[in-house]
Chains A and B, each alone.
Chain A
Amino acid sequence: MKNLSALINAELDGQIVTTSYYKNPTSATAVGNWFDLSMSPGTPTPNYYATTPLTSTQFGQNESNGLYVGQAISPKTRGIRQIGMTMKNTGSIRGTPFILCDYLMYYSFCDMGFSDWQYMNNTTTLPRYDFGQVMAVCVGSPSGVGNPRFQIKYTNQDGVSGRISPIIATGTQSSVGTILNAASNAINSGAQAAGPFLPLQNGDIGVRSIEAIQFLDSDYGLVSLCIVRPICSAAVINNNAIEKDFLIHAGGEIPIVKDDAYLNFIFFCNDNSFSGSPVMGYINFVFN
């Protein structure tokens, strides 16, 4: 779909799939952190990152009960036509950005109390795309005292193994679902947080697989490393609703979503805890 005419004709021709979502964070989210909505109750059903520890596990709409993107249509192309989103929060929300991601693969239950390299068992590869970005998601809350640091070894977008990320500091308040590498208050011995995705070794733009993780400062807690492909972004302002029409806002270029994509949102908590503040809406996919 390379022009407005093709997109509109596809929509008028009924080549559209509509899906709705409703996610209600139950964990208290700290201001300044990015948060993984895939773990929250609602529709799609929660992702618990539950798998064999340190072993690569793929995500997919069919395998993981993801947000419904429609049936496989390859060789046709699927794109996002519109995203509608509303939020309700008893406090004020000022500029809450969201990123819709295709979750590709994860490695679960990395132990924050273990100071040696923890090596991953890569039994699978990315199901879609050649590479993605990495999030370190809290699945067992650490103390966060002293902003513990960590780094990962990975294979980059070109298939070069043994690459090592910069050292990242985690935040001090980390409920389940928090993206640990992305706390704005995390500074320790020159290491800083960076989010929502882990910074990579100089020259790298993405990750094909994760080889190992090392926690430089001992803490208790469990982390899942998740490789995602960011698809598009949106923002909700002041308890408001948004309807992002990609034909207008993106000049006719719409984000592409692959067959069997496992879609979910991450968001930046800008003001007040989002616990009990549901995010809901719909996505219209058009295919051609």
Chain B
Amino acid sequence: MAIQSMDQIINTITSGNFWRADFNKNWLSASAQSAGSWYYLAAGGGSPTVNSVLGATTNLAQYNTSFGTTATADTAALGGSISTTTFTDTTHNSGRFTVGMQLTGTGVADGTYITALGTGTGANNGGTYTVNISQTVTNQTITGTGNVNAIYTGGTNNAVSPATKYLVNGSVFTGSSSGAPAQMLLVDVLSQFTISSVTTTGVQNLTNQSAWPRYADGVGVRAFLVPSVIMGTGTSTVRLNYTNTDGVSGRLTPASPALPTLTSTAAVGLIPHSGTGAGKFAPFIPLQEDDKGIKSVESISFSTSMTSGCMNLIICKPIAYFPITSQGVPAERDFVNQLPSLPVLQDGSNLQWMMMAGAATPTNTAYYGNLETVWG
């Protein structure tokens, strides 16, 4: 039975149906943030570590994500090697290699993972990647396994059914003087579409559509873009063709006041339709009038080639906002006594952070905090 009283909350806590998740997420080491722009912290390390499923899946194909979702990539037979800390994908086979992927293969040291992209962009023959352990591995089939690495909030793979899980309170803060102010947004990431075909203009049909793993009716579901490989030059607009919560297809991102404009050479983790200037909408891509959410996405269209890089269309359900005020001061939310009251976290929730930078947040800036959940 759903929790409907303070007594029930107290009873669930005392009975042990309670979890406190402490986390820290780091902004990336590659580039500082720009004030006024939104960012996806899943691309950064910390605890949980980097979401290495981001950008790892088949071009334009829907890939549903839940807590514990994995994705794999591999070289062709005898197509991979490691020399000191450089992994070379001499002949690529399938999937896309991403930062954070664990590598396995004959002779590959336990615990080897990709720490950075070299010349590799995920699936290019001859691409190189930096790994964490110096070693020598000659001509093997090397497999990479990525994990969404979401925040764990209780239950097997974040599932507690038939009970219902609620977020009861949370806090976020930063120890960096340039990490504040900021607006943090907790989202449940439902699905992703890796888009490596960023030089293609016009309509690109998306494939492998299925119901979202949670919020299948699309109510409250939103979309945003984020690169997993730094983008090339080219200032493009974007337009989605989607089906709304009433099952009406052919819904389009509105062209008025403007189509969302993507920042040229967008860094990994930047939400490229955010920031200052005309044609910027954040944190999510606007919906057509009266629409309450996205039930499915049929196609995406870029107006201009972005020359290189890899973009990802992320489908998510916003959960809660946390405004960070100052260095070292936690932004705390009491979801029992404040509104919205007791946000529900569905089974398998893939909780990740988005943030709006209020300053030129330096590289490797960490955001800490905790979430507390109960279920009953």
Docked pose: A16 CA to B282 CA in angstroms: 14
Q: Given the known A-B contacts A42-B36, A84-B323, are A11 and B340 also in contact in the complex, defined by CB atoms under 8 Å? A: yes
Give the nearest-CB partner of A259 in chain B: B289
Mark each residue of chain B from 312 to 346: 1 if its CB lies under 8 Å from any CB of chain A, else 0: 00000010010111100001000000111000000
Docked pose: A11 CA to B219 CA in angstroms: 10
Chain A residues with CB under 8 A of B293:
14
For the residues of B in contact with A, the DSSP-based class is loop
For the residues of A in contact with B, the DSSP-based class is mixed
Q: Are A13 and B292 in contact (CB-based, < 8 A)?
A: yes
Docked pose: A12 CA to B180 CA in angstroms: 30
Q: Are B288 and A86 in contact (CB-based, < 8 A)?
A: no
Which of B181, B287, B340 lies in contact with A86, CB distance below 8 A? B181
Q: Are B257 and A13 in contact (CB-based, < 8 A)?
A: no
Docked pose: A118 CA to B245 CA in angstroms: 54
Give the nearest-CB partner of B292 in chain A: A14
Chain B residues with CB under 8 A of A42:
36, 276
Q: Are B321 and A70 in contact (CB-based, < 8 A)?
A: no
Chain A residues with CB under 8 A of B97:
none
Q: Are A72 and B289 in contact (CB-based, < 8 A)?
A: yes
Q: Are A282 and B183 in contact (CB-based, < 8 A)?
A: yes
Q: Given the known A-B contacts A13-B219, A281-B323, are A20 and B274 also in contact in the complex, defined by CB atoms under 8 Å? A: yes
Chain A residues with CB under 8 A of B182:
86
Q: Are A88 and B257 in contact (CB-based, < 8 A)?
A: no
Which of A20, A62, A245 lies in contact with B356, CB distance below 8 A? A20
Name the interface residues of A229-288: CB closer than 8 Å to any CB of B: 239-243, 245, 247-248, 278, 280-282, 287
Least CB distance from B315 to A in Å reads: 13
Q: Are B283 and A88 in contact (CB-based, < 8 A)?
A: no
Give the nearest-CB partner of B256 in chain A: A62
Q: Given the known A-B contacts A14-B245, A281-B183, are A24 and B339 also in contact in the complex, defined by CB atoms under 8 Å? A: no
Q: Are B290 and A43 in contact (CB-based, < 8 A)?
A: no
Decide if B284 is an interface residue (CB 8 Å cutoff): yes
Q: Are B280 and A43 in contact (CB-based, < 8 A)?
A: yes
Q: Given the known A-B contacts A62-B256, A71-B290, A248-B338, are A20 and B282 also in contact in the complex, defined by CB atoms under 8 Å? A: yes
Decide if B376 is an interface residue (CB 8 Å cutoff): no
Chain A residues with CB under 8 A of B287:
17, 71
Q: Are B257 and A241 in contact (CB-based, < 8 A)?
A: no
Least CB distance from A135 to B in Å reads: 24
Give the nearest-CB partner of A21 in chain B: B36
Chain A residues with CB under 8 A of B325:
86, 239-241
Name the interface residues of B213-252: CB closer than 8 Å to any CB of A: 218-222, 245
Q: Are A22 and B35 in contact (CB-based, < 8 A)?
A: yes
Chain A residues with CB under 8 A of B280:
43
Which of B218, B276, B359 lies in contact with A43, CB distance below 8 A? B276
Docked pose: A76 CA to B292 CA in angstroms: 13
Least CB distance from B86 to A in Å reads: 40
Q: Given the known A-B contacts A16-B220, A43-B276, A62-B257, are A71 and B183 also in contact in the complex, defined by CB atoms under 8 Å? A: no
Least CB distance from A226 to B in Å reads: 20
Which of B220, B289, B358 lies in contact with A88, CB distance below 8 A? B358
Name the interface residues of B187-237: CB closer than 8 Å to any CB of A: 218-222
Give the nearest-CB partner of B356 in chain A: A20
Decide if B278 is an interface residue (CB 8 Å cutoff): yes
Docked pose: A248 CA to B341 CA in angstroms: 12
Of the listed residues B183, B218, B254, the one surrounded by the most CB atoms of chain A closer than 10 A to its CB is B183
Docked pose: A281 CA to B36 CA in angstroms: 9
Least CB distance from B220 to A in Å reads: 4
Give the nearest-CB partner of A45 in chain B: B278
Chain B residues with CB under 8 A of A124:
none
Q: Given the known A-B contacts A243-B321, A280-B358, are A68 and B257 also in contact in the complex, defined by CB atoms under 8 Å? A: yes
Least CB distance from B41 to A in Å reads: 16
Mark each residue of chain B from 251 to 283: 1 if its CB lies under 8 Å from any CB of chain A, else 0: 000101110000000000000001111101111
Of the listed residues A14, A68, A82, the one surrounded by the most CB atoms of chain B closer than 10 A to its CB is A14
Which residues of A are interface residues toward B (Cβ below 8 A)? 8, 11-20, 22, 24, 41-43, 45, 61-62, 65-66, 68, 70-73, 76, 82, 84-88, 239-243, 245, 247-248, 278, 280-282, 287
**5 A-B pairs whose Cβ atoms sit less than 8 Å apart in the complex:** A19-B281, A22-B358, A85-B323, A86-B324, A241-B331
Which residues of B are interface residues toward A (Cβ below 8 A)? 35-36, 38, 180-183, 218-222, 245, 254, 256-258, 274-278, 280-284, 286-290, 292-293, 318, 321, 323-326, 331, 338-340, 356, 358-359
Given contacts A62-B257, A248-B338, 5 further A-B contacts (CB under 8 A): A43-B277, A247-B339, A278-B359, A280-B181, A282-B283
